[in-house]
Amino acid sequence: MAKPKVFVSRIIPAAGLDKIKAECDVDLWTEQMPPPYEVLTERVQGVDGLLCLLTDRIDPALMDAAGPQLKVISQMAVGYDNIDIPAAAERNIPVGNTPGVLTEATADLTFALLLAAARRIVEGVQYIKDGKWKTWEPETLLGADLSGATLGIVGLGRIGKAVAQRASGFEMNLIAYDRSATAEQAAELGIRLVEFDELLAESDFVSLHTPLTEETRHLMNAETLGKMKSTAVLVNTARGPIVDPDALYDALKDGTIAYAALDVTEPEPIAPDHRLLSLPNLTVVPHIGSASVRTRNRMAEIAADNLLAGLRGDPLPHQVKP
């Protein structure tokens, strides 16, 4: 019996890839950059399954190009805004993702960025490289304390809650905005629920943990950034387009807010000559929220399990709801 044909749009950890190779005829994209849309459209023709990443646009035209035999789309990510979910549902193609496993690693990075911003770590490294460290100085690179400061969490999903748990260890005051959470649920984590504008006004640190939707696109814009404290720090490890990059540039340059730290950007990747990167009060890392060995191995395993289940006609262990 012939093995099912699948296309895998990037080299993924062997923990998942070896599972797929054992049961499938694999066409693997081995370049560093993602396949261009036109190439992806060609390579999926006739496949039974597709394993993709956030960088791949999976729209109705691509699904139709694959053909009616396409049984499953498995994404190695928790987010799936690159996939047209209603179009997949119309074609009876289940879509899988990798939720939950990213929580701890992303929360760790969120807190790493928060600390780096608060204590101006990246500026300190550059200060030494520029030859400016001549002696100990009482007022050089003064940062913000976390203990006693207020952290405002926008979105109390898995990652938002995990960030709250870390912040409680630093004796921070916790507030959050989440329309689906109850006051009782928040109180169990020592969090007080507030309205969005109240969160912006009270927080010393604002951390974003919402999905990207039409409602949250450019949630942080000139108006909302203007409601934050001038001493506040903004951290985004969710999705780049939640923050308007032009408004953020103006807010950082003009002193509307003190600092920002980003794991995600708009556009992504951000160009090395982008004007945001000229600002000393901004730290950007290249979307590494889930980039720990254990987490990426588990993501690859879940993506492989979703793919193989779909090929067998079984329910996906982690299926996106249409």
Supply the residues annotated as catalytic.
Answer: 239, 268, 287
Tokens for 160, please give them. 């938002």
Enumerate the β-bridge partners of residue 24: none
Q: Which residues contact 30 (CB under 8 A, 6 or more apart)?
A: 11
Contact call for residues 75 and 10 (beta carbons, < 8 A): no
**Phi and psi dihedrals of 10, rounded to 5?**
-165, 160
Q: Which residues contact 178 (CB under 8 A, 6 or more apart)?
A: 153, 154, 155, 156, 157, 160, 186, 193
The DSSP 8-state label assigned to residue 247 in this structure reads H
Distance CA 210, CA 220 (A): 12
The gap from C-alpha 9 to its chain's centroid, in whole angstroms, comes to: 19
The DSSP code sequence of 29-49 is --SSSPPPHHHHHHHTTT-SE
HSE-up of 190 (CA within 13 Å, CB side)? Answer: 15
Q: Coil, strand, or helix at residue 309?
A: helix
- How many CB atoms are closer than 10 A to CB 260? 26
Q: First CA to last CA across the chain, in angstroms?
A: 33
Tokens for 248, please give them. 């953020």
**Phi and psi dihedrals of 177, rounded to 5?**
-120, 120
Contact call for residues 230 and 201 (beta carbons, < 8 A): no
